[in-house]
Amino acid sequence: MGHLSIGTLLYIIIGVLVANANGYLVDMTTLPHIVSAVLAIALWPLILLQVNLHVSF
């Protein structure tokens, strides 16, 4: 089993906090909402630049 570095763990934690603060983790009932949440966590610096990562199918 691999180990996460401290930097990677911090990046994910900050991503969850930023995504939650911007409403990406509110409604996780449909696939587009789940995809939006994953993108928001992974690409959280873009959210700080006001990029909209909400996905719709």
Confidence of residue 57 (pLDDT cuts 50, 70, 90): confident
What was the pLDDT predicted at 54? 93
CA distances from 5 to 10, 13, 15, 24, 30 (A): 9, 12, 15, 25, 31
Tens digits of residue pLDDT in 3-53: 889 999 999 999 999 999 999 999 899 999 999 999 999 999 999 999 999
What was the pLDDT predicted at 1? 62
Strands (DSSP E) along 1-57, which ranges?
none
What was the pLDDT predicted at 2? 76
Segments making up each domain of the chain, as ranges: 6-48
What was the pLDDT predicted at 3? 87
Contact 44, 19 (CB under 8 A): yes
Rounded to whole angstroms, the Cα distance separating 23 from 21 reads 6
